[in-house]
A and B are shown apart, each in its own frame.
Chain A
C-alpha cells in the first residue's frame, strides 16, 4: 500500500477535523437535489411542491400511481419498455463489436493498424452534433424514422469509439506473454481471442456494458429526433412530454416519475460502483471518468 500522496491533510488535528467537516458539508450539498426529488415525490398535493424540506409533512405513494398513467393515454410502463429495448440493443452492440475491434487493435498485427487506431482517436474527439443532420437524412432514406433502429444499428457498427479506446487500453495492460504462449502453441487469432483474451476481459466488458446502459438510458437528443411519437418515447423523452403536458400543475406525480426514470441508473450504479469509481483497478480507472465527447449529454 503506497502512502497517501501529496495533498493529504497535514498532521495537525485541527486541519484533519476541518477537512472532515468540509467533506461532510460538500457531500450533503451535493446530494441535496437527489434527496429533494425523492422527498418531493412523496409529498401530498396539499403541500407546496417547491419547499426546502427533505421531510414531507405527510407521506403518500399516490403520486407514483398518478404519474404512472403517463401522457395521452401512454403510460410510463410503455416508456420504460421502449427504453429497455433501446438500452439492451445498445449494450449488446457496443460490447460485441467494440470488443472485437479492440482485440484486433491491441493484439493483432495487420497493415495500417496504427493509422486506423489514430482514426478511432479522431472520432473520439468528433462532436456528434456535426453528424446529426446527415445521419437523420440517411436513416430517413432507409425508412427507419419512428423505429429504434437509428439508436441501435450504429452501436452494432462500433461507432461508439470511446469503448474501443477503453478496451484497447485495458488489453494493453494485460501481460503479453499470455498470447506469446498461445502463439507458440500455434493458436489461431480466433483461438487466442476465445481462450486467452475473452476470459481476461471480463472487467472491461462489464464496464462497457454498464456505461453503455447508463448513457443510453439517459440519452435524450437522439430519442427526441428519431422517436418523436409519444407511444415510442423512452423514459427521458416520455418524462419530458409529461412535464410539458401538465407536470408543472401536478408536481408530485412529475417528481415521482423523475425518481422512477433515475432508478435504473441508480440501481446499476449501486451494484457496480466499485468498478466505476475505483481508483486502483484498470477498468475502474479507465471506465468511469472520461466524459465522452458526445451529443447526448
Chain B
C-alpha cells in the first residue's frame, strides 16, 4: 500500500506525537540552523505582513487618518465611541453579520451532515456523487455565482417560476430588504460540500462494530446516530464549526455583488467586512476602519474561545482528552 493511500482520518481527531529522540549534539545544532533557515520566509512574513500590521492597526484605531492627504490626528477612543454610540450603520452591519453567521453556519453543517449520512455506505457511484456534491463549494465563492444567484432569485427568475407553480407571487428575493440576506444565506449553505467530505471521511472511521452491537441491542437508527455516530464525530464537528464560523464572519464577495458594492437594499446585506471595506477604502477613513477591525478581531476571537470552551461538554475524544 503506497504511503499516501493510508486512511488517516484520525489526523483530525488526534494530534500525532512529535518525535522524542535525543540526537547527537552536533546533529541537533545542525538541525537548528537548518530549521531556522527553512523558516526564514515564514518568519519574515509573520513579522512584516501579519504581526507588524496587526499592531500598527491597533495604533491607527486611535487616530483620524486620511490616507490621501497623510493627515494623522491622535483622537484617543473617539473612533470606538462613535462606532458604538453614533453610527447606526455600524450596528446594522453587526446585526446582518450575526444573523448571517447564526443561520448559515448551522444550516450548512446540518445539511452537510445529512447528505454525508445519505451518501455514506453507498458503494456504486459513491465517488462521482461525492464529487458532484462537492463541486458547489469550490465554485460558490466566485463572482460568477453571486451574479447568477442574484438573477435566479430576482424578479421573473427561476426561483419565482418554481414558486409561482405553488401560487407564490413573484418578487425579487435578492433585492428586497426583507429577503436579500436570506438568499445570501442560501448561497452560503449551497456550499456545504466542504464539511460534507470531512464528515464522510470521519464516518468511515467509525468502527462498524459499534453500530453493529448497538443494532443487535435493538437500538433504532436514530438512536445509533445520536449515541454512536454524533459522539464519535464530535471532534470533527468542533473543527468544522470553528472553521465555518470564522469563514462566515468574513463573507464578502456575494454581499458585495448583491448590494452593488454598497450593502443594499437598505443595508440588508451590509456585512461587517463589507462595511469595513466601505469605511476604509471607499470612505478613506483608515482610523475608523482599523477600530472596526480590532473590535472584529476581539469578537471573533472571543467567540472562537467560547466554542472551544463549550466543547468540553459535547466533544468526546477517544480515550479521553488529548
Chain A complexes with chain B: yes
Interface residues in chain A, defined as those with a beta carbon under 8 Å from any beta carbon in chain B: 2-10, 19, 22-23, 26-27, 30-34, 36-37, 40, 48-52, 97-98, 100-101, 103-104, 108-111, 113-114, 116, 119-120, 123, 125-138, 140, 154, 156-159, 164, 169, 172-176, 183, 188-190, 200, 202-203, 214, 218, 220-221, 224-225, 236-237, 239-240, 243-244, 247, 251, 254-255, 257-259, 261-262, 265-266, 269, 273-274, 276-286, 288-297
Q: Give, as a whole number of angstroms, the nearest-CB distance from B139 to chain A.
A: 6
Output the least CB separation between B257 and chain A (Å). Answer: 6
Q: Which residues of A contact B4 (CB under 8 A)?
A: 200, 202-203, 281-283
Sample (26) of A-B pairs whose CB atoms are under 8 Å apart: A6-B232, A26-B115, A26-B133, A33-B190, A120-B42, A127-B249, A129-B273, A131-B293, A133-B289, A135-B49, A137-B67, A137-B286, A158-B45, A176-B19, A218-B141, A243-B257, A277-B127, A278-B127, A280-B204, A282-B4, A285-B8, A289-B194, A289-B198, A292-B247, A294-B247, A297-B250
**6 tightest CB-CB pairs across the interface, nearest first?**
A157-B45, A8-B121, A4-B121, A110-B35, A134-B53, A293-B246
Contact indicator A220/B253 (Cβ below 8 Å): yes
Contact status B118-A26, CB under 8 Å: yes
B123 proximal to A (CB < 8 A): yes
Q: Which B residues are CB-close (under 8 A) to A154?
A: 45, 49
Partner pick for A3 among B18, B208, B247, B257, CB 8 A cutoff: B208
Give residues of chain B (112-131) contacting chain A, Cβ–Cβ below 8 Å: 115-123, 127, 129-131
Residue numbers in B under 8 Å from A22 (CB-CB): 118
Would B135 and A34 count as touching, CB distance under 8 A? yes
Bound complex: CA of A101 vs CA of B119, how far in Å? 37
Q: Is B237 an interface residue (CB 8 A)?
A: no
**Contact status B16-A173, CB under 8 Å:** yes
Question: Does B98 belong to the interface (CB within 8 Å)?
Answer: no
B122 neighbours in A (Cβ, 8 Å): 4, 23
**Are B195 and A251 interface neighbours, CB within 8 A?**
no
Give chain A nearest CB distance to B27 CB in angstroms: 7
Whether the Cβ atoms of B143 and A158 lie closer than 8 Å is no
Task: Say whether chain B's binding surface is mostly helix, strand, loop, or mixed.
Answer: helix
B4, B16, B158, B232 interface centre (most CB from chain A within 10 Å)? B4
Closest-by-CB residue of A relative to B242 is A125
Q: Is B318 an interface residue (CB 8 A)?
A: no
List the B side residues contacting A158 at CB < 8 Å: 41-42, 45
Asked if B129 and A296 make an inter-chain contact with CB atoms under 8 angstroms apart, the answer reads no
Residues of chain B with a CB closer than 8 A to A10's CB: 221
Number of A-B contacts (CB under 8 A): 377
B201 at the interface (CB under 8 A from A): yes
CB contacts under 8 Å to A, within B277-322, are: 277, 280-281, 286, 289-290, 293-294, 296-297, 300-301, 304
Q: State in angstroms the CA–CA spacing of A19 and B125 once bound together.
A: 14
| Contact-residue size bin, chain B (C-beta under 8 Å from the other chain) | 35 or more
Q: Give chain A residues whose Cβ lies under 8 Å from the Cβ of B249.
A: 127
A137 to B257, CA, bound (A): 25
Task: A268 to B144: give the CA distance in the assembly, Å.
Answer: 17
Given contacts A50-B157, A297-B251, A5 and B120 within 8 Å (CB-CB): yes
Given contacts A134-B56, A290-B198, contact A297 B253 (CB under 8 A): yes
Interfacial chain B residues near A2, Cβ < 8 Å: 204, 208
B129 lies within 8 A of A51 (CB): no
CB distance from B183 to the nearest CB of A (A): 12
Minimal beta-carbon separation of B3 from chain A (angstroms): 6
Decide if B156 is an interface residue (CB 8 Å cutoff): yes
Q: Are A261 and B142 closer than 8 Å at their CB atoms?
A: yes
The interface residues of chain B lying within 8 Å CB-to-CB of A140 are: 67
Contacting pair A173 B11 (CB below 8 A): yes
The reply to whether B293 and A129 contact each other, CB–CB distance below 8 Å, is yes
Which residues of B lie under 8 Å from residue A283 when comparing CB positions?
A: 4
CB closest residue in chain B, given A20: B122
Is B211 on the interface with A (CB-CB < 8 A)?
A: yes
**Chain B residues within 8 Å of A236, by CB:** 142-144, 253
